[in-house]
Amino acid sequence: MARMPWRPCPWPRSGSVSTNMAWAGLSPEEKRSERFKRWLSPPAVKFSSPQAGKLYKDRVTRFAKALQLQKPDRVPCILPAGLYAATYAGTNLHTVMYDYDEMKRAWLKLLHDFEADTYIPPALVPSGRALEAVDYKLYKWPGHGLSTNTLSYQAVEAEWMKPDEYDALINDPSDFWLRTYMPRVFGALKAFGQLPPLTSFEEIATMSFLSFGLPEVQAGFQALLEAGRETLRWAAVVGEVSQVALQAGYPGIMGGLAKAPFDTLGDTLRGTQGIMMDMFQRPDKLHAAMDRIAPLAIAGAINGVNAANVPVIFMPLHKGADTFMSRKQYETFYWPSFKKVVMALVNEGILPILFAEGSYNDRLDIIKELPRGAVAWYFDKTDIFRAKEVLGNTACIVGNVPTSLLMTGTPREVKEHCRKLIEVCGKGGGYILAAGANIDEGSPDNLRAMMEAVKEYGVYR
Amino acid sequence: MPESYVNLLADLKEDEVLKLTKKRIDSGEDPMKILEDSRKGMEIVGKRFADGEYFLPELVFSGELLKQVTAMVKPHMSGKATQVKKAGKVVIGTVAGDIHDIGLNIVDFMLDVNGFDVTNLGVDVPADKFVKAMKDTKAPVLGLSGFLTPAFDAMKETVEALEKAGIRKNVKIMIGGGQMDDEVRKYAKADAFGKDAMAAVSLAKKWIGVN
């Protein structure tokens, strides 16, 4: 998410608590209340009209209440429009990844055409040129490994980290990143493997300068500089769109993204295959690595949220789902370090929306142990009616209109499905209507049907 | 010994399995017998997976074990590759525009341990490649995998390509993975949606007529 112009914040911008004693002295509840206040009255936002300012406050209040298990004026709705704006505006993902004006046009069209409760700026549309500058290998995107008309970018699962590299990661994650991981996932930075450990700069460390003189290492730095310049151009446009949305009265709901340590290792380091082998062959190393990654995930998440002025963070959860591992494996390998990250964010006054991709039917009683009102659970394929029964008194429930219905069904069918969801899950508050996953194309009338449903069936009296 | 070997493999006892494999090779046992026992062990793994006792980690790990055993045994094989009888042919693959293969590989594994001759075309498979594979193998069953929503259209296009090639009526098509469900099955005009790898096995069995 693009960083807003700097202004004084009550919380420490570095994410390090010790730098601000007053903030550190607050309880988690007080911190959350501070953060929610700032979400409600964002400093330095000039609303385009008094009406826009009022609508903004109404919308934030609607989400804030639902997220904290209260009854808002009506059920809020998050439209599943992550990358949808591109096809909606008659262009495609490939084009908007390379043409920021087109990106802006598409995203503003979506903003103005739906009277949604929240708005997702194009921060999830990466700059194709920035990725190309560093020859990113972790992802394929339209026109780069996938055909130009593909509507999504996709991660390439591989053993980006080898099984015998756990100690290197655990001993010094930054060093492992710089000299081992980055040379693998960024083709242009391959020569960074020749860099010395930065801690070798001690006294007159002449030899430590040496590899910085190599042409291939210098080319790597040039590539990074180019990616940086390109990203500044991109961020200016994303920031502009975000500002327009805020001024028009549409709040953001994604203050940042964070991941469970098991997923960080399983998605982009060891790969699914690798991490599952490690569960048998080197469980102690795996645990130690997750413990090492957890504080990094926490600090990164807090920084993101502080910069965005939205107290809510999204955590997409992958490899702990029902079909990926047994309940016992979940409790042993996935839950402990994940819970640590979640609780650290909660204690900082941040409200995580935990997005359980796939299904979590066999996890409901485990995840129930998080404190009341501290998190929201966003379900994809989980039996959401049962989830409401089990979790309804402890966490806000978000979800889960099937994406298949949104893409192939009629507006009437979508609206009817939403009505059922609202009637059951919306009971007593603490519910947000959303789709199981984002859609990339399909009839806009099906998205309008979701908005119609919350307005018609979701009003609390 | 074979019985406990089968069980050790099924129980994923890595050290014991490897030690015992070496012992059996050293004692001059027919390598084919060792492989046959491994196959039986994998069959049990597949059954435990189907019963919900094993999950993906066990599947992955058992596959790795089998790979190690095969690598140990192979140098001792005399070249006479005995063809194991297969239940029937199935072609599978992830449709165009989608590079996800975790689900695809589970289906591959489960069909394989249940005796099917599986042709796995991998990921991001264009429709014409599916058509060619169906013609080449004459397989009666096709499994289409997809994780993301763009796969909806790719599946539909694959089915249409089979229609256009005039072989749709000879082929039963099942779909599965990520965001797929029966709505997508209708949309793509496939014959069945399977919610997991066990469903793929029972559909293939039903269509091919194996018990």
Residues of B in contact with A404 (CB under 8 A): 152, 179-181, 183-184, 187
Question: Residue B150 and residue A152: Cβ atoms within 8 Å?
Answer: yes
Cβ contact B177:B148 at 8 Å: no
Pick from A156, A157, A324: CB nearest B55: A324
Nearest to B56 among A145, A325, A404 (CB): A325
- The nearest CA of chain A is from the CA of B98 a distance in Å of 8
> Domains in chain B, please, with CATH?
2-76 (1.10.1240.10), 88-208 (3.40.50.280)
Q: Which of A324, A325, A408 sits opposite B183 (nearest CB)?
A: A408
3-state secondary structure of A157: coil
Enter the ipTM. 0.86
Q: Express each pLDDT in B99-147 by its tens digit.
A: 888 889 889 988 988 889 999 999 999 999 999 999 999 999 999 999 8
Tell me the nearest-neighbour CA distance from A84 into chain B, angstroms.
11
Written as six digits, the tokens of B20 are: 């015992």
Does A215 reside within a domain? Answer: no
Residue of chain B whose Cα is closest to the Cα of A320? B56
Considering only CA atoms, which of A248, A253, A247, A242 is closest in space to residue A66? A253
**Burial label, A11 (beta-carbon count in 10 A; 0-12, 13-18, 19+):** buried
B124: nearest CA partner in chain A: A146
Residue A245 CA to residue A116 CA, distance in Å, equals: 11
pLDDT at position A81, please? 87
Classify residue A229: in a domain, yes or no. Answer: no
Q: Residue written as tokens 């070997």?
A: B5
Output the domain CATH number for residue A89: 3.20.20.210
Task: Test A325 with B57 for CB contact under 8 angstroms.
Answer: yes
Cα–Cα distance, A122 to A128 (Å, whole number): 13
DSSP state of A117: S
Interface contact flag, B61 A147, Cβ < 8 Å: no
pLDDT given for residue A434 in this prediction: 97
Instruction: Pick the closest to residue A337 from A262, A257, A408, A388 (CA basis).
Output: A262
Could you tell me if residue A110 is inside a domain? Answer: yes
B127-137 helix and B151-164 helix, angle to the nearest 10 degrees: 50
In order of A146, B130, B204, the CA distances from B207 in angstroms are 34, 19, 5
> How far apart are alpha carbons B33 and B39 in whole angstroms?
10
State how far residue A368 is from chain B, nearest Cα, in angstroms: 23
CB-CB: which of B54, B64, B97 is closest to A146? B97
HEC per residue, B111-178: HHHCCEEEEECCCCECHHHHHHHHHHHCCCEEEEECCCCCHHHHHHHHHHHHHHCCCHHHCEEEEECC
- Asked if A236 and A5 count as a contact pair (C-beta separation under 8 A), the reply is no
Global pTM reads: 0.91
**Residues of A whose CB is below 8 A from B150:** 150-152, 440-441
Say if residues A121 and A235 touch (Cβ distance below 8 Å): no
Question: For residue B53, which of B198, B191, B178 has the smallest C-alpha distance?
Answer: B198
Exposure b/e, A347-361, CB count within 10 A at least 16 = b: bbbbbbbbbbbbbbb
Residues of A with CB under 8 A from a CB of B: 140, 145-147, 150-152, 154, 156-157, 272-273, 276-277, 279-281, 323-326, 329, 402-405, 407-409, 436-441
Question: What is the Rg, in whole angstroms, of the alpha carbon atoms belonging to chain A?
Answer: 22
A358 in any annotated domain: yes
CA B116 – CA B197 distance, rounded (Å): 13
DSSP 8-state assignment for residue A144:
B
Taking an 8 Å cut-off on Cβ atoms, the answer to whether A272 and B56 are in contact is yes
On whether residue A180 sits in a domain, the answer given is no
Q: What is the mean pLDDT of each run of 10 residues along chain A (461 residues)?
A: 43 53 90 95 93 97 97 96 92 97 96 92 95 97 92 92 98 98 98 96 92 97 98 96 96 94 97 95 98 96 92 96 95 98 97 96 96 96 97 96 92 97 97 91 93 97 86
**Mutation site for A-interface testing, chosen from B66, B149, B152 by largest number of A Cβ within 10 Å:** B149
> How far is A216 from A222, CA to CA, in rounded Å?
10
| Residue A428 included in any domain | yes
Question: Using beta carbons and an 8 Å cutoff, which residues of B are at the interface with A?
Answer: 12, 14, 54-57, 60-61, 64, 96-102, 124, 148-150, 152, 179-181, 183-184, 186-187, 196
The shares of helix, strand and coil residues in chain B, as percent rounded to the nearest 5, are 60, 10, 30
Is B7 exposed, middle or buried (CB count within 10 Å of its CB: 0-12, 13-18, 19+)? middle
CA–CA distance, B211 with B209 (Å, rounded to integer): 7
CB atoms within 10 A of CB A404: 23
Contact assignment for B99 to A140 by CB distance below 8 Å? yes
Q: If we measure between CA atoms, which residue out of A45, A32, A22 comes closest to residue A373?
A: A32
DSSP A357-407: -S--TTTHHHHTTSPTTS-EEEESSS-HHHHHHHHTTTSEEEEEE-HHHHH
- Whole-number pLDDT of residue A12: 59
- Give every CB contact of residue A120 below 8 A, 6+ residues apart in sequence: A81, A82, A252, A253, A254
Query: Distance between alpha carbon A144 and the CA centroid of its chain, in Å?
Result: 23
Residue B81 has pLDDT above 80, yes or no: no
Domain containing A283 equals: 20-128+250-457
* Residue A3: inside a domain: no
- Chain centre to alpha carbon of residue A314: 4
Cβ neighbours of B99 in A, within 8 Å: 140, 145-146, 154, 156
C-alpha–C-alpha distance, residues A270 and B86, integer Å: 34
DSSP state of A459: B
pLDDT score of B82? 54
> How many structural domains are present in chain A?
1
**Given A152, A405, A409, which is nearest B148 (Cβ)?**
A152
Signed CA dihedral, A167, A169, A172, A175: sign only: positive
How many Å lie between the alpha carbon of A441 and the closest alpha carbon of chain B? 8
B203 has a pLDDT exceeding 60:
yes
Q: Please write the tens of the pLDDT for every residue from A305-320.
A: 998 889 999 999 999 9
3-state secondary structure A244-297: HHHHCCCCCCCCCECCCHHHHHHHHHCHHHHHHHHHHHCHHHHHHHHHHHHHHH
Of B14, B102, B183, the CB nearest to A405: B183
Closest residue in B to A141 (Cα) is: B97
- Partnered with residue B125 across adjacent β-strands are B95
pLDDT of residue A2: 38
Closest chain A CA to residue B195: A323
Are A277 and B61 inside 8 Å of each other by CB? yes
Give how far A273 is from chain B: nearest CA, Å. Answer: 6
pLDDT tens for A185-243 read 999 999 999 999 999 999 998 899 999 999 999 999 999 999 999 999 999 999 999 99
Q: Closest approach of chain A CAs to the CA of B23, in angstroms?
A: 22
For residue A8, what pLDDT is reported? 47
Q: Which candidate, A40, A71, A55, places its Cα nearest to that of A116?
A: A55
Does some domain include residue A56? yes
Please list every residue in chain B whose beta carbon sits closer than 8 Å to the beta carbon of residue A157: 101-102
**Could you tell me which chain B residue has the CA closest to the CA of A157?**
B100
Query: What span, in angstroms and rounded, lies between the C-alpha atoms of B10 and A237?
Result: 56
Mutate which of B9, B98, B183 to test chain A, going by most A C-beta atoms within 10 A?
Answer: B183
Residue of B59, B67, B68, B99 to mutate, interface with A, max A Cβ within 10 Å: B99
Contact at 8 Å (CB) between A100 and A456? Answer: no
How far off is chain A from B132, nearest CA to CA, in Å? 20
